[in-house]
Structure 1
Amino acid sequence: MLCERRESPGVVPKFYQHALAIAFAINEINKNPKILPNITLGFHICDSYSNLWMTYRTTLNLLSKRLRFVPNYECDGKKSLLAVIGGLGSDTSVLMADVLGLYKIPQFTYGSLAPGEIHTSQHPYLYHMVPTEDPQYMGIIRLLQHFRWIWVGMFVVDNESGEHFVQTMELLFSQNGICSAFVQRIPQQPNLDDLDETVVEVLLKIYEPLTNQKASACIVYGESVTMVWLRTLIFLQDQENIRYSEYRKVWITTTQIDFILTGPQKYWDLQMFEGAIAFMIHQKDLLQFGEFVQPIKPGWNERDGFLKDFWEQIFDCFFGETIPDSEKCTGEEKLAGLPEPLFGMHLTGHSYSIYNAIYVLAHTFHEKYTSRLRQKTMIENPDVLLQHLQPWQLHPFLQRLSFNNTEGETVSFNEKREIGGGFDIMNVVIFPNNSFHQVKIGRVIPGALEGDEVVIDWDSIVWHRGFNKVVPISVCNEYCHPGFQKKSKEGEKFCCYDCVLCPAGRISNQTDMDDCFKCPEDEYPKENKNGCLPKLVIFLSYEEPLGWSLVSVALSFSLITAWVIGLLMKHKDTPIVKANNRDLTYTLLISLLLCFLSSLLFLGRPGKLSCLLQQPAFGIIFTVAVSCVLAKTITVVMAFMATKPGSNMKKWLGRRTANCIVLSCSLGQLGICSVWLGTSPPFPAFDMQSLSEEIIELCNGGSVIMFYLVLSYMGFLSLICFMLAFLARKLPDSFNEAKFITFSMVVFCSVWGSFVPAYLSTKGKQMVAVEIFSILASSAGLLICIFAPKIYIILLRPELNTKEQIRRWKNK
């Protein structure tokens, strides 16, 4: 004997389908000779009237004898109760399980229950025809994440299940960057006859959430009656315009909710629920069910105590002798064509679960029946089998049961005594005549890999017409556009924030980013900070104005130096050229020529060879030049000292001493450069940090210490040369160059003294240009200060370039 339970007082027309699903399934089984041949199944339907006392009373009545309420007493015919189907909600299921569990009677729930509401260990004889609500929670989260709905309202039934749902969703919200805009609790049982203070208070509380324009997405959790109660509250709030109300929301309903019409709500508009997204128990459309239901009329089954009330409610007519003909039910009304919320010709998810539950029991009985045959203990009369069969004997067969139902779907229980199948995700399309069609847009698949547990055809969703075919937005405030980042508001939830511009050097390329980030090293932020642009690779090239200007200067001075060399070689036998060591003069001029040309190594794209040669060549060549100037200065000093009586300095005068000075000083710099190249040589590199919008292609010095050691050594020689030349500037010697060397060393030291701070304070091409300028300026200073007077005498005052003038000058 089977029991099914309805969830609201009176007959809810759409729930009558649950009873018909039982009758349809048992009718199929009784006609099927392959299942339980010669055995006829029966059923009994009872109602708890949504009352706890009636639930207990009805359950105990099933365990009593036929005419008296005396549990456990068997003095006359007893009902053959082998299993119970029910209830839809957790409250009814728990109350039934508390009683039925004492007798180990299998109980099958056909509604999706919240985890923890019914503990498997406490109710070992309870079987679930659908999964628990766990997968549904993640399905809702994935839906909200896809459309970026982070400001979501919740309407929940005011009971333990609703409280569990709120706590679970609040935790999942915080883990996935979503906030609840409000949580509005709806009374479990509406009392429309007495609009007392409680109802008025609920009306006042619900009005503000309904008119909250920011929270476009609203989750409704509860049962079908919860939706009835919600619609009633909306109607009471806006009675005049209820058919045209634009409560523009995306309603997300849970598995226990079905859109139903009952009582006066049959005439209310359902358009406000257009575009709703409903999580529903998995179902299959059985065509045979529609054929079974279509011929139903009053009187089709005298034992159906619900049909009369159902018929009167669904067709707004009455049975009775005193009823006017205009209001009397004719019995010829047709169920086909009724609006889906009123009564459906297709099985709902709950009815499909009931259908499967009947087949589970039938296959279980069949397994028990065939096992008796295999044991050759079959009683001759098959009906006696059920009389001797005890409910507790079914559990071993139920736990290992697995079969394909009439639609080819596998039905079996897992270790938690649950049947899989997941949930269907439906999109509600409502038509002008108040009928609607539920379009399947996806599924929730329990046990799937993370990220694959929810499959939805996003493009097929139909939205409420108030959204003008645009995907709704459900946020606390406008999205932060690229180029901005979120800044939380004090005292408000994290979903409510201000948008502030990204700080310097950072960007955001997506909407609603928590933090801005830096561009890759080879890119820089756009002006509006919503993306990155590739940095331009720069180096001091020959083609740009600065480059060819420096090249022109370097080549010009190189030509002038070459001309000076040629001029001095032409007048090599004149006293002014022969004075102060003619070989030193030529060596100095050649080194200056190379100094001018060495600056060209710093121009153009850096390469391995050019980087290796730049600094060492510059350091060695300049050291040779400074060494020559130092040798000239020392020669002047030694020549003066040699003129003193009794001096032995004459033997040190000559080319050998000057050559030794130049060679020894140059070898010192050569040693430093050799160590530099041997330990940490310069190499081509890219500087991506110094400039915000450009990449500097340069020569990395390798060792900064060695670079400044080269400069320090050259500066040390220059300082000694300057000091000696300054002291010897007024010595009475023919063509004394000390004064000119002093001027040249002042220029030389000034240039390289200012080079260090200028070099450190510049970046990119300017840094290279500073070094080239220092090389050209210091080389030009030496060339002009030392050789300009000689050129002046040779070209413009040749009369001074004679021995007589030299002697006259010495005798002054």
Structure 2
Amino acid sequence: MHGNFLLAVTVLCIARLCPAMCGVDPLTCILQGDPQPPAFFMDGDFIIGGAFTIHYSMKIENHTYTRRPQPLECSGSMNFKELRYARVLEFAVQEINNNSDLLPGITLGYNIHDSCASVPMTVKLAFQFANGIDPVFNYTDSCANAAAVTAVVGESGSTPSISMSRILGPFGIPQVSHSATCSCFSDKRQYPTFFRTIPSDHYQAAALASMVKYFRWTWIGVVRSDSDYGNFAMESFLKAAEKEGICVEYSEAYFRTQPRSKLKRVGDVIRRSTARVVVAFLAPGDMRLLLEELSQQPPPPLQWIGSESWVSDKEMLRFNMCIGAVGFAVPRSVIPGLRNFLFDLSQDHLLNSPLLTEFWEKSFSCSFKKQTVSPSGLPACDGTEDLYALQSPYTDTSQLRVSNLVYKATYAIAHAIHGIVCNNEQCNKNIKVEPKKVFNQLKRVNFTRNNYSVSFDANGDPVATYELVNWQLQKDGSINFVTVGRYDASQPKGQEFSLIRAVIWNDGSEKVPVSVCSVSCAPGTRKAVQKGRPACCFDCINCAEGEISSETDSLDCHRCPPEYWPNKDNDKCLPKPVEFLSWDEILGIILAAFSVAGSLVALSMTLVFYKNRTSPIVRANNSELSFLLLFSLTLCFLCSLTFIGRPTEWSCMLRHTAFGITFVLCISCVLGKTIVVLMAFKATLPGSNVMKWFGPPQQRLSVLGFTLVQVLICVLWLTISPPFPYNNMQHYKEKIILECSLGSAIGFWVVLGYISLLAILCFVLAFLARKLPDNFNEAKFITFSMLIFCAVWITFVPAYVSSPGKFTVAVEIFAILASSFGLILSIFAPKCFIIVFRPEQNTKKHLMGKVPSKAP
């Protein structure tokens, strides 16, 4: 910090501690330094201070410590826009003094200074606002003296405002800034008397983060001014961006007084980056230098996102690389009468103000020197130059964004003073207005001027409202600011940001540019973060089997419920297809056809036997058991139909029990016929009366007894743990097998085992009787049929266990049909063939083998 302000300004405070240091009367001190003259001054009953960055820099003096330091002096180019802000304060004071409703009968004055964005100058001005510029300091009544100003409008920048507020705060002097946006000022412990009419960067950072998220940019670069404004704003933005899931590729800082090498390094970082969106929290001077550096070696097309400090600054429009830039700006406004006031500059007015003189000379390239041609070679100014034809930030009143904030700040102070000295439209200019009273009134200010409301919250901040400004290329080749959206922090959460028209981007289209580290993962995939890189850099991994992701950029895949399975894109769960042996599929139709055909064959043979029931071949083969066997075979064929179709509670119980009982009835009949053959042979032996022990009644009872045992087994099975419909989701992952669960597996295998036991017994007996002497020995056919039966059911067991899904049911039906066809074709087909096609063999003699054989 510049050192001479200690001697020039703070000697007054030192004198308060040690009057003898002043070198005069112990009760009187003389100011040793030179006071800073105001740029604009007007006396009044109450004085408002003003500080604006009218020049960009300050003269730097090399101290030799051999002479008194020179007064601080601003230098460099003039900021015509800041000059307009200073004159807005003048205009507002003049308007208030002419207003009969606000402070009637009281005149406000102003004391406006050029701070030249310098901390030393700002500190000096702060002490002047607090202590005044009287050359003699009277120690006796110093504590009773009020400050030189009631309040201060300014400073423009955050860093100078911090220095000013730290000095004004302890004295209770309120400071109302029109342009200092640093979020740090909301901390009332550090800046208790600070107010502002511009929103805090805390809200702007949140607004920018919301906008970046809205346009789905997740990979950005950020640059900032290396100052309190840039650092605090960027800190708030990075926190907001992190909450929104936005990744930052780089974060660079630069200040215009830093070496050129630093600026070049920042430019190289931007050129090398892969992020196509750059968020810039830069002061206009810093942004101008950065764009000039990038213009020397243009980077790939970039989408600039700007803060309010530069994105609505018309001086930046000359940089074509920023076409399509978007950013939040203070809302535009209209101040009636301001334009005429700014243009009302007489020659006397110009000559009485060094700043206005400098403005006129630089704007029209002339000089007010007395000579016709000034020593600098410039023509003389005569005050008749056409100000209306001048294209200058001073004369540009087309938008009046920050100018309105100066206007509102001035009116806020006036309303605060009004609340102190006025009561029921009666004002007393003799009331002592202390800065602390003005401070307390400012906290309660709430009014509307030109349809613009003014109030402050507990942190001294206004309601945050912004316009979203878009740099759009016009038909005539010029660039203009177009309002495309708004941000209102007073709206409900999530509804603060809104677009009102299309944004034209840097390529001239309405298509939003893409700036991502990795392309979004489509539904059906999940994100896998790349090791050592930000969260926005990831790979897309397909969801595992049975899992889905229904959203873009999903972090995880989710497993479908048990009854569902992913579609082919793995982005939604669909109900699993239910599989069962249905009536309308080919396999079901074929098996049903064979089942019906088998039953028709059995009925046909029954009809043949019934018509020929008196014939020898029918009578010789136990016609009663034959008819019962044909009936049971018909039921065996038909019971296979219960296995086709959607399993239900009743069909599951019916299919297994019907199968078990009908097959036992069938095997019992075959077993009876086999026993009859054996008994018939024994009965032919001399003295044998075996047949009386196995006559028709005994045959019926044996069939009934064998069948009742199976019925009892089935009743116990159905009572204890019956079969039931079951959704099998273990065998296949992608589909549900609708099947009949056995309930009790023991019951099923006991039913099957009992059938097998009878079949084996029948096979053994038939095998023993196969060579008995007879012309038509039925035991041979029974042996062959039992051989087929046993072979089918032996192969059934492994096939049944290993067959998947509906094929398990198909195997069971096939076994039923195959064994049934084996029995009916082996036992009854030869008899029917003889009856129908060889009737000459259907005689008792032929059966007894008494027919002589023909000679060869």
* TM-score w.r.t. length of structure 2: 0.79
Deviation at 1:251, TM superposition (A): 1.2
Deviation at 1:274, TM superposition (A): 1.6
How far apart, CA to CA, are the structure 1 residues paired with 2:602 and 2:383? 124
For 1:303-452, what aligned pairs fall within 5 Å after superposition? 304-315=353-364, 317-320=366-369, 321=371, 322-323=373-374, 331-333=383-385, 344-346=396-398, 348-371=400-423, 382-385=428-431, 388-407=432-451, 409-430=452-473, 436-452=479-495
Cα deviations across residues 491-519 of structure 1 (Å, max 9, x unaligned)? 33232334555656666676655556678
Q: Does the aligned pair in 2 maintain the 1:85–1:354 contact within 8 Å? A: yes
1:452–1:297 Cα change, 3 Å: farther
Name the count of aligned residue pairs.
772
Which residue of 268, 280, 284 maps to 2:329? 280
How far apart, CA to CA, are the structure 2 residues paired with 1:637 and 1:15? 129
Equivalence for 1:253: 306
AA aligned to 1:661 is G
Cα deviations across residues 463-506 of structure 1 (Å, max 9, x unaligned)? 22x35543211122445556665444333323233455565666
Q: Does the aligned pair in 1 maintain the 2:526–2:554 contact within 8 Å? A: yes
SS of alignment partner, residue 498 of structure 2? strand
1:778 aligns with 2:830: no
Q: Does the aligned pair in 2 maintain the 1:627–1:666 contact within 8 Å? A: no
Which residue of 563, 581, 586 maps to 2:627? 586
1:129–1:603 Cα change, 3 Å: same
Deviation at 1:763, TM superposition (A): 5.2
1:713 aligns with 2:751: yes
SS of alignment partner, residue 483 of structure 2? strand
Q: Does the aligned pair in 2 maintain the 1:619–1:669 contact within 8 Å? A: no
1:104 aligns with 2:165: no
Structure 1 range deviating more: 656-665 or 269-278: 656-665
How far apart, CA to CA, are the structure 2 residues paired with 1:662 and 1:486? 68
SS of alignment partner, residue 705 of structure 1? coil
AA aligned to 1:393 is K
1:661 aligns with 2:705: yes
1:78–1:134 Cα change, 3 Å: closer
Structure 1 range deviating more: 743-752 or 354-363: 743-752
How far apart, CA to CA, are the structure 2 residues paired with 1:53 and 1:207? 34
For 1:453-602, what aligned pairs fall within 5 Å after superposition? 453-457=496-500, 459-464=501-506, 466=507, 468-480=509-521, 486-499=527-540, 512-514=553-555, 525-526=567-568, 542=583, 544-574=585-615, 576-578=617-619, 581-602=622-643
How far apart, CA to CA, are the structure 2 residues paired with 1:591 and 1:327? 132
AA aligned to 2:496 is E
SS of alignment partner, residue 113 of structure 1? coil
Q: Does the aligned pair in 2 maintain the 1:135–1:444 contact within 8 Å? A: no
AA aligned to 1:448 is Q
AA aligned to 1:21 is V
Which residue of 274, 284, 291 maps to 1:231? 291
Deviation at 1:44, TM superposition (A): 1.4
Equivalence for 1:6: 52
Deviation at 1:788, TM superposition (A): 3.1
Which residue of 203, 208, 229 maps to 2:264? 203
Unaligned ranges ≥5, structure 2: 1-46, 58-75, 851-856
Which residue of 116, 130, 135 maps to 1:49? 116
Larger Rg: 2
1:15–1:136 Cα change, 3 Å: same
How far apart, CA to CA, are the structure 2 residues paired with 1:689 and 1:672? 29
Cα deviations across residues 624-657 of structure 1 (Å, max 9, x unaligned)? 3344445545666777788998998953552342
How far apart, CA to CA, are the structure 2 residues paired with 1:226 and 1:63? 32
1:65 aligns with 2:132: yes
1:22–1:574 Cα change, 3 Å: same
How far apart, CA to CA, are the structure 2 residues paired with 1:123 and 1:77? 23
AA aligned to 2:294 is I
SS of alignment partner, residue 112 of structure 2? coil
1:325–1:524 Cα change, 3 Å: same
Cα deviations across residues 183-221 of structure 1 (Å, max 9, x unaligned)? 12112x336xxxxxx312431341341464x32211001
How far apart, CA to CA, are the structure 2 residues paired with 1:111 and 1:647? 130
How far apart, CA to CA, are the structure 2 residues paired with 1:112 and 1:615? 89
Equivalence for 2:243: 175
1:606–1:402 Cα change, 3 Å: same
Deviation at 1:38, TM superposition (A): 0.8
Equivalence for 2:27: none
1:722 aligns with 2:760: yes
1:24 aligns with 2:91: yes
Structure 1 range deviating more: 499-508 or 662-671: 499-508
Deviation at 1:758, TM superposition (A): 4.2
Unaligned ranges ≥5, structure 1: 192-197, 239-244
How far apart, CA to CA, are the structure 2 residues paired with 1:632 and 1:766? 35
Identity %: 30
Equivalence for 2:9: none
Q: Does the aligned pair in 2 maintain the 1:715–1:749 contact within 8 Å? A: no
How far apart, CA to CA, are the structure 2 residues paired with 1:231 and 1:792? 108
Deviation at 1:104, TM superposition (A): 1.0
Deviation at 1:567, TM superposition (A): 1.9
Q: Does the aligned pair in 2 maintain the 1:519–1:525 contact within 8 Å? A: no
How far apart, CA to CA, are the structure 2 residues paired with 1:117 and 1:65? 25
Q: Does the aligned pair in 2 maintain the 1:271–1:434 contact within 8 Å? A: no
Structure 1 range deviating more: 597-606 or 221-230: 597-606
1:144–1:626 Cα change, 3 Å: farther
Structure 1 range deviating more: 549-558 or 537-546: 537-546
SS of alignment partner, residue 63 of structure 1? helix
* TM-score w.r.t. length of structure 1: 0.82
1:580–1:2 Cα change, 3 Å: farther
How far apart, CA to CA, are the structure 2 residues paired with 1:741 and 1:317? 134
AA aligned to 1:289 is L
Q: Does the aligned pair in 2 maintain the 1:2–1:43 contact within 8 Å? A: yes
1:766–1:648 Cα change, 3 Å: closer
SS of alignment partner, residue 2 of structure 1? strand
Deviation at 1:94, TM superposition (A): 2.2
Q: Does the aligned pair in 1 maintain the 2:328–2:467 contact within 8 Å? A: yes
AA aligned to 2:149 is L
Equivalence for 2:162: 94
Q: Does the aligned pair in 2 maintain the 1:399–1:413 contact within 8 Å? A: yes
Q: Does the aligned pair in 2 maintain the 1:508–1:515 contact within 8 Å? A: yes
1:343–1:673 Cα change, 3 Å: farther
Deviation at 1:290, TM superposition (A): 3.1
How far apart, CA to CA, are the structure 2 residues paired with 1:331 and 1:345? 22
Deviation at 1:724, TM superposition (A): 4.5
